[in-house]
Structure 1
């Protein structure tokens, strides 16, 4: 346990749970209905520090690292969203929960999407923060988007070239990613940033980034294409940053209603990392979403 984790997750305990093909690290706190928080690239579960303690006043909060990210470990080399979703379902079952709410950002939200598709009845509600469906990202990938999402293309290159280059200066790469997606490194709390940096220094975490984006450019597309036309009527919230990239080509709410017809949501005056940039507004939206259930 690091000093940053203690400071950022007061009252939470640390758990490490073995699941098929991986070991998942999480922080757990609070009482009430189970609520799983899933982070995105290039972060860890620590991104939720700004709202986790408040959510824990009403929910049993589980903030987990995706396989290979943060302090989670992958044993089988499978970085598909299908595997990531399976991990988190196994984690929650280990804790005694057969169903639960999910609040998710970026890659975690893609994991949540796959979880709803693959594990019917498990997810009670879902919140998807600042992403479009994976198929829509690739469908709209033009020169404008490729410049802003260059990591989608770079990290998915074959072989170990991306991993070796990133590992030459992982902190520079991390800061470039955070600034490129947010516009300012300063919006991240110092102790949280230190945790992101600690993870980035681990070559296996960089390998997970590459494996994740390689899967998203290949087998994840096959999985989503096979499920086109499938929908879920579970309560769904879609939030996105008004100053970010997600809404440039498509209306995020309409894009997600193709999968979740009952989805509701709105833009937040933020960039990509709106949870950390506008925590009070995000928390208010999440509270209203969860109270409807």
Structure 2
């Protein structure tokens, strides 16, 4: 996986960010989601690197990245990535993102609009809309949103009793099937065995149920005009209550999108379709 890429660790102040970097051309930042690492991009990263300078990074606390200050807000994660890209010589770049990485990208576009040339958001609707539309149907599928956000260390203690089992159940529960390569699963399992990674999952979702909402509410009414591509899986939960493109248009008026015949983990289930959509998006901006 990631043939021709080099591994780096960048000290960005309040975090140390681990990433793989490869290729030449316009810079493209790849951001993963829960409960994965940058490895989720392995089906498409090498092909993208034939044309672009690709940076696949672990969010703070996830994978091999480290948070120094215990701040797992999307605002902190976004700043990490802006600093990471600056350390590589990129003051502006394209962002291709999934799940929690896509929520990080959303915040990045509002906090650092000059840095984000374009944005791809995969299989999410805005965080405020998730909580607003949470009903019994969605709560059963997104139970981790409330479980991981519980205070006092209870989720961490329970998960650490069998972290690999929990991580596997999260993957299968969100995807509906096992769509992951053995190499990728081994990396996800390795990360899950690290208690600090479990703490990061919980810190991320605790912020997503509190301060992240405050940040998003403060941005209501603002928009960003950079090109935005929205991709989502037809077999997932994202479009059950809202049309994802319509939901994102209130934040990104230029949003366009398409549905992929997949569950939540689009990149690993339908890499060719996702790759084509991302390449077509980026080509229009060349």
The TM-score range, normalised by the shorter chain, is over 0.9
Match of 1:30 among 3, 15, 23: 23
Shift, 1:121, TM fit: 1.0
**Which whole-Å CA distance do the structure 1 matches of 2:104 and 2:113 have between them?**
14
Question: RMSD of the alignment, in Å?
Answer: 0.4
Q: Per-residue displacement from partner, 1:98-149 (whole Å, max 9, x unpaired)?
A: 0000000000000000000001211000000000100000000111100000
Distance 1:22 1:165 in 2: 26
1:278 and 2:266 correspond: no
2:234 maps to 1:242: yes
- Match for 1:131 among 124, 128, 131? 124
For 1:193-272, list aligned pairs within 5 A: 193-272=185-264
2:9 pairs with one of 4, 7, 16: 16
Offset of residue 257 of structure 1: 0.4
1:190 paired with 2:182, answer: yes
The CA distance in 1 between the partners of 2:261 and 2:201, in whole Å, is 28
Partner residue, 1:80? 73
- 1:22-61, Cα deviation, whole Å (9 max, x unpaired): 1000000000000000000000000000000000000000
Deviation at residue 235 of structure 1 after TM alignment: 0.6
Runs of 4+ in 1 over 2 A off after TM superposition: none
Question: Secondary structure of 2:282's match?
Answer: helix
Q: Choose the corresponding residue for 1:90, options 83, 102, 111.
A: 83
Cα distance in 1, alignment partners of residues 113 and 198 from structure 2 = 32
Is 2:111 the counterpart of 1:118? Answer: yes
Instruction: Provide, for residues 60-114 of structure 1, a one-character-per-residue CA deviation record: whole Å limited to 9, x for no partner.
Output: 0000000000000011000000000000000000011000000000000000000
Q: Which runs of 5+ in 1 are unaligned?
A: 1-7
TM-score (norm 1): 0.97
SS in 2 for 1:265: strand
Looking at structure 2, the residues matched to 19 and 47 of structure 1 have their Cα atoms a distance apart, in angstroms, of 23
1:261-282 Cα distance to aligned partner (Å, 9 max, x none): 1011111000000110000000
Partner Cα separation in structure 1 for residue 113 and residue 104 of structure 2: 14
